[in-house]
Amino acid sequence: MIVGLGNDIVDISRVDERLEKRILTEEERKNKKGKITKEYIAGRFALKESYFKALYTGISANSFQDISFLNRSDGSVFLMHHKYRPSKNGVYNFVYASLSHDSFAYATVLLEKIEGKVFIGIGTNLGKREENIQKAIEKLSEISKIVSISNVIETEPYGKTDQPAFLNCVVEIDTDLSPNALLEELLRIEKEMGRIRIEKWGPRIIDLDILFYGNLVLENEKLTVPHYDFENRIFFVKPMLEIAPDFVHPISLKTMSEIFDELISKNSDNNTHQLNKW
């Protein structure tokens, strides 16, 4: 369901380069190869205005610093949220942006809510591991609709290796919670199940990670989506391959099948074995 659509046109010749500090984020400055030009500023202004229009809020309720429009390696544009705001029509989990130039910058942003496509990674290596996963899935079902569940796999520890093996799976959910609200719910579930955060990569009774929220890209002090190290973690990639092989990573634009093949080619021993299906 389309929840927002915005368009904007900017006359490049009329752009004041002094607006750079107001319009561009630090990420956009780093992303630009070479000199910051009027064309670049105009393009980002048009994209951000289009996004604000798609929210049906306008610029008055937003800041140019809340979002960055960045270029992938192939030149295509994607939106990075530093602060996520739902459209007046509700939450969205997919964003599509286009930008073209001649003497004007033309931008379009479309916001869409597609059922499911929010993927949660579950891991545990303490206590009754299978019961931990089952309980976590039950708690997820209380805050969202479960769309699909991967098989459970057993994997060797990642990062800190002197600890018990993990059980992992991925659950696809449908939710009306915003990304940050979903994170708060996952942290609550972890706490209720006895998670104590002592050391990075240490043992844990339960671990819940937002791997993907549709094709959204988020970067703020509390949340990074897609998961920052997804493509190197077989215990995320293998379950994703099972339930969503054609799902596309929103930054690299690689499918789960492609990511899995690349990961296996780097490490022929994937150190996993399948246990069961919930």
Q: Which residues are catalytic?
A: 195, 204, 207, 209
Q: At 99, which amino acid appears?
A: L
| Distance (Å, whole) CA 83 – CA 231 | 24
Backbone φ and ψ for 160, nearest 5 degrees, come out as -105, 105
Whether the bond between 226 and the residue before it is cis, its omega within 30 degrees of 0, is yes
42: closest CA among 60, 20, 75, 61? 20
Run of H or E residues at 264: helix 256-266
Q: What is the largest CA-CA distance in the chain?
A: 65
| Distance (Å, whole) CA 63 – CA 76 | 23
Is the CB of residue 7 less than 8 Å from the CB of residue 107?
yes
| Distance (Å, whole) CA 113 – CA 81 | 16
| Distance (Å, whole) CA 266 – CA 82 | 33
